[in-house]
Structure 1
Amino acid sequence: MKNTSHSLLVILFFLIIVSCDKKITFEQQISQDVYQKIASGYCEEDKIPKDAVIKNFKIGEITPIGDTGMIDVALEFDITDADGNEEHITEAMLYLDKGKDKKMLAIFCEYDYRKQ
């Protein structure tokens, strides 16, 4: 009985440590932001349909902008709409560095971070 409870405590401790370490990288956050905003329809006014398929997604240069705490992120990817039309996109995003977290301020299409 004592061994069982000890084993359970060790397993529980291990699970807590593993679950606390699930922080995504900045690059993963950028990719997630792009895919979510396009899927949500934020870019429809800028001629990127909600149902567009993103291919060949590449994050280019990630550049801090002086001492402002802002970060410029260059992006490049292809989209294919429902009709099969393809378009190559080269754009940028803007993030605010808040220590361990980064907050998206601007994406290449119509987006207002204050409405989140």
Structure 2
Amino acid sequence: MKITKTEANGVNLAIVSGSEIFIGDVQSALDLMATVQYESGCNRIIMNKSLFSDSFFDLKTRLAGEILQKFTTYQVKLALVGDFSVYSSQSLKDFIYECNHGNNFLFLPDEQQAIEKLSRLK
């Protein structure tokens, strides 16, 4: 895992990258939050969707809800970057729409948009 720190609009952001799946369950999400906080001091994280297991995007598993609840509890904001049009689930599309209109989680097509929008969340 590589953590890069950047700043936009006066807000520090951590960009997490890697070549393997980091988030496969709730505990791995908690571990990631702790590692990012410790290594970068950031509570706003940008990650590519490829770092999440496919079960995260299957809402029937409840994994997305459980993980995002942990992020909310620990006051960490998250932007996932990637092509979400590959998913056909209407429930997932609705979930992404609702998240993108909230203040904690974003699903965006590219890192630059993630930096811009995540740095402006309240």
TM-score, normalised with respect to structure 2: 0.24
Structure with higher Rg: it is: 1
Compare the two structures and name the one with the higher helix fraction: 2
Larger strand fraction of residues? 1
- Given the two structures, how large is their TM-score scaled by the length of structure 1? 0.25
Structure with higher RCO (Cα < 8 A, 6+ apart): 2
